[in-house]
Structure 1
């Protein structure tokens, strides 16, 4: 595949994954508003449902190599680091940060992930980031900050434990961005995403079992849960890992900033959200930064 075409395709996958997370967040908000469900329950449930769906797809697609990742002991450290240090930890620490502060603070802290990715590439791979790339990352993060807070610092309630949890969720993003690459290339994004979701779901159920249901089960509630599980988890992570196969984790982590953008756009018709001048500026800042970063990587 042509390099420019590969980078464009990978960036598009990452953008779509971010949009799916944004849609999932809106459905999560509706679920919490209408049914007062537990964030921990929805985390356990979405991971298990996503794992079952993706593993079923993987098995039907290639039964012969379905269990191949388990056949080599050398895969185990990478697999479990990806699952527990990445997929599970990003969920756990993100929701912990929300509980200790609020969703805006937790989201902003998690979106420091590109900085940690640049540090990783610099320290462990001796890859000095391009000055332009650093600038575009900073601009994108500034856009996310403005979009989430509307420029009002009073929305941020930060305690040391909240900061630690939020930063650990950002580090977890780095782990699932970089660690599974060798396994992705060998076993495919579908198989690896499926095993990642399922194992993380099993771990999450230790903290909050899927059968511990505290809300009234009805068709609308099931619709919310399935949308969060299928669109915002199974498909989003599948697109994300596909992006990691094509482009650098730095571009992926910045391109998924479309998550808060999608949340804002969907909230306009659903919740009557009105865009301020700061929000519009933030949206343009994020979009332009993602485009310029992708073009910078192509060069």
Structure 2
């Protein structure tokens, strides 16, 4: 039950980080990096209410600084900036569909390159993600096609 709630919460927040900033970036004309910065700043403050950053800190080493910098820059700032910047070129539903393929690709690449051992539940979950992506894309095509053009 716990993983189901985390999965639903993850889906909701993934949709929100594409849909909510779009008016700020596209209509208001704010730079995507500014919107991203404010979002991360506010979420950092909220998270620090739950677990303050100064408790249980590991010793600071060069490897830790390099690892954290890589995760922050390559794994967080760059991808989120690119997603926000893409709202200039594509509608948010298309961006959400493309973004939904990321867990499936991570799953497939983990099997191929990391020799991940998978369970039936993981296969079913991956199939559900692919089916959801297909249904979202199919629904999008129906919306784009006017009723009078359908034969």
TM category, shorter: 0.5 to 0.7
CA contact 1:98–1:106 (8 Å) conserved in 2: yes
Aligned to 1:257: none
CA contact 2:87–2:95 (8 Å) conserved in 1: yes
Match of 1:112 among 81, 101, 126: 101
Residue 39 (structure 1) shift: 5.9
Deviations, residues 88-119 of structure 1 (Å, cap 9, x unaligned): 12212212333333323322222111232223
Aligned to 1:78: 67
Residue 152 (structure 1) shift: 0.7
CA contact 2:104–2:129 (8 Å) conserved in 1: no
What RMSD in Å do the two structures reach over aligned CA positions? Answer: 3.4
Match of 2:41 among 45, 48, 53: 48
Aligned to 1:251: none
Aligned to 2:148: none
Distance of 1:96 and 1:24 partners within structure 2: 12
Q: Report the TM-score when normalising by structure 2.
A: 0.67
Q: How does 1:11-90 map to 2 (within 5 A)?
A: 11-23=4-16, 27-28=20-21, 31-32=23-24, 36-38=28-30, 40=32, 41-55=34-48, 57-59=50-52, 63-65=54-56, 68-69=57-58, 71-90=60-79
Secondary structure, aligned partner of 1:115: helix
Residue 23 (structure 1) shift: 4.9
Q: Could you list the runs of 5+ residues in structure 1 that have no partner in the other structure?
A: 1-7, 156-299
Distance of 2:18 and 2:94 partners within structure 1: 15
Residue 86 (structure 1) shift: 1.4
Q: Could you list the runs of 5+ residues in structure 2 that have no partner in the other structure?
A: 145-151
Distance of 2:82 and 2:20 partners within structure 1: 21
Aligned to 2:118: 129
Q: How does 1:95-244 map to 2 (within 5 A)?
A: 95-130=84-119, 133-134=122-123, 136-147=125-136, 150-152=139-141
Deviations, residues 43-62 of structure 1 (Å, cap 9, x unaligned): 22111222234346533xx7
Aligned to 1:254: none
Distance of 1:121 and 1:136 partners within structure 2: 15
Q: Does 1:9 align with 2:29?
A: no
Secondary structure, aligned partner of 2:69: helix
Choose between structure 1 and 2 for higher RCO, CA contacts under 8 A separated by at least 6 residues.
1
The alpha-carbon distance between structure 1 residues 19 and 151, as it changes in their structure 2 partners (threshold 3 A), is: closer
